[in-house]
């Protein structure tokens, strides 16, 4: 009898933890969606960066496909507030759920590592997780809006392109940040010079990004690239992910206000400029950090093997 009680109690705790995990993912999905919608561009639903897709892909990579009800619940609640009617809401929520699941399955099939410590992992996240998987949500969402008459004539492809790039940018920017934060540990024993360098990097990146997005000359946006390279070389994945996220956020805010290089231009021109820049910064930071991490790991392995070889030679010499 007591064994049965213990088993039932353990199962109850497990089910409780599972339900709470679903709810946590749904709440994060909904909260970040509301933040993303502050920069809505098309039909009150399409934004240049959709953070929930990044959260959904990261949650699937960490917890597996069993977390899909939390993603579906978050997507459904978000679209209830912004959808035109019941049927489009259901289809859009289904597309928003299927897209990250498809990304997850393709990434796992490609042998993706959550540590993002290999160049192949960074490339897989970009081309399979972001650009490939998000075709589903963009196509389903835009298609149902068009069929329901919620889009103006000729509005399918502009809406589809913004939707697709926004979802893809969510995966490229948010997912690496969440994976790095999850695996990160609070650094102990780090000296003051290292903290000073990190502080200087953040301050310089933020300052240059703000100044560049407040200047009409779009070419000045690329002044942030040296700081992304600095972050990748000196702080690897953590530095690159944080800097890429910060740069993207400030650039999107400038595009929403239509200031700096985004002033006096139409939606299409601004979206091309914004997504080309954000895509370039995210891709540069992600790939460079992966290359640096892989190089450092190889270097440490070579050092270890050389030390072992030297020890064996020394022992045989004795």
- Distance, in Å, from the CA atom of 90 to the CA atom of 276, rounded to the nearest integer, reads 31
**Cα dihedral across residues 97, 100, 106, 110: positive or negative:** negative
pLDDT band at 37 (very low <50, low <70, confident <90, very high): confident
Alpha-carbon gap, residue 94 to 98, rounded angstroms: 6
Looking at residue 187, its pLDDT comes to: 58
pLDDT at residue 231 is higher than 80? yes
In a 3-state reduction of DSSP, which class is residue 296? helix
Question: What per-residue confidence (pLDDT) applies to 7?
Answer: 53
pLDDT of the residue at 23: 95
Residue 228 vs residue 312, higher pLDDT: 228
Between CA 132 and CA 136 the distance in angstroms is: 8
Contact by Cβ (8 Å): 271, 48: yes
Nearest to 163 by CA among 183, 143, 193, 177: 143
The answer for residues whose C-beta is within 8 angstroms of residue 204's C-beta and 6 or more apart is: 227
Nearest to 88 by CA among 155, 162, 146: 146
Residues whose CB is less than 8 angstroms from the CB of residue 60 and which lie 6 or more positions away in sequence, other chains included: 67, 68, 71, 100, 101, 103, 104
| For residue 5, pLDDT beyond 90 | no
Q: How many residues does the chain have?
A: 318
**What local confidence, expressed as pLDDT, does residue 74 receive?**
96
Q: So what's the pLDDT on residue 217? A: 84
The pLDDT mean for the chain works out to: 88
Least confident residue range of 129-133, 186-190, 197-201: 186-190
Which pLDDT score is estimated for 3? 53
> What's the pLDDT band for 291 if we cut at 50, 70, 90?
very high
**pTM, 2 dp:** 0.90
What integer pLDDT is reported at residue 44 of this predicted model?
52
pLDDT at 130 (0 to 100): 96
Token pair 């992966």 is found at 290
User: Three-state SS string across 57-76, please?
Assistant: HHHHHHHCHHHHHHHHHHHH
pLDDT band for 105, please (50, 70, 90 cuts). very high
Convert the pLDDT of each residue in 121-168 to its tens digit. Answer: 999 999 999 999 999 999 999 999 999 888 888 888 888 988 999 999
CA angle at 202 for the pair 197 and 208, rounded to the nearest 5°: 120
What mean pLDDT is predicted for residues 202-225?
Answer: 91
Average pLDDT value for residue range 183-188 = 64
Cα separation, 86 vs 165, in Å, equals: 25
Q: Quote the DSSP letter at residue 214.
A: T
Note the pLDDT tens digit of each residue in 42-101. Answer: 555 567 889 999 999 999 999 999 999 999 999 999 999 887 789 999 999 999 999 999
- pLDDT the model gives residue 200: 95
Report how far residue 135's alpha carbon sits from residue 118's, in angstroms, rounded to the nearest whole number.
25
């Amino acid at each position: 009898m007591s064994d049965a009680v213990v088993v039932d109690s353990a199962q109850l705790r497990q089910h409780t933890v599972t339900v709470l995990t679903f709810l946590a993912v749904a709440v994060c999905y909904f909260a970040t969606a509301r933040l993303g919608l502050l920069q809505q561009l098309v039909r009150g639903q399409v934004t240049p960066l959709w953070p929930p897709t990044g959260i959904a892909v990261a949650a699937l990579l960490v917890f597996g496909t069993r977390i899909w009800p939390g993603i579906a619940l978050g997507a459904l609640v978000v679209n209830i507030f912004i959808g035109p009617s019941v049927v489009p809401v259901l289809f859009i929520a289904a597309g928003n759920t299927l897209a990250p699941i498809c990304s997850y399955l393709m990434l796992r099939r490609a042998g993706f590592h959550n540590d993002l410590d290999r160049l192949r992992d960074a490339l897989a996240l970009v081309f399979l997780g972001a650009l490939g998987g998000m075709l589903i949500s963009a196509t389903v969402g835009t298609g149902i809006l068009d069929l329901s008459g919620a889009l103006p004539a000729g509005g399918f492809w502009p809406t589809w392109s913004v939707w697709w790039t926004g979802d893809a940018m969510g995966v490229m920017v948010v997912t690496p940040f969440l994976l790095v934060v999850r695996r990160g540990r609070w650094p102990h024993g780090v000296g003051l010079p290292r903290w000073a360098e990190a502080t200087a990097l953040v301050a310089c990146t933020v300052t240059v990004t703000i100044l560049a997005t407040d200047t009409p000359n779009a070419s000045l946006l690329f002044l942030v690239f040296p700081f992304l390279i600095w972050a990748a070389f000196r702080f690897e994945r953590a530095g690159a992910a944080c800097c890429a996220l910060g740069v993207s956020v400030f650039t999107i805010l400038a595009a929403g206000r239509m200031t700096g290089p985004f002033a006096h231009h139409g939606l299409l021109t601004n979206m091309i400029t914004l997504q080309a820049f954000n895509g370039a910064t995210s891709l540069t930071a992600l790939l460079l950090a992966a290359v640096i991490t892989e190089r450092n790991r190889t270097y440490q392995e070579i050092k270890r093997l050389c030390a072992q070889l030297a020890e064996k030679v020394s022992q045989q010499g004795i």
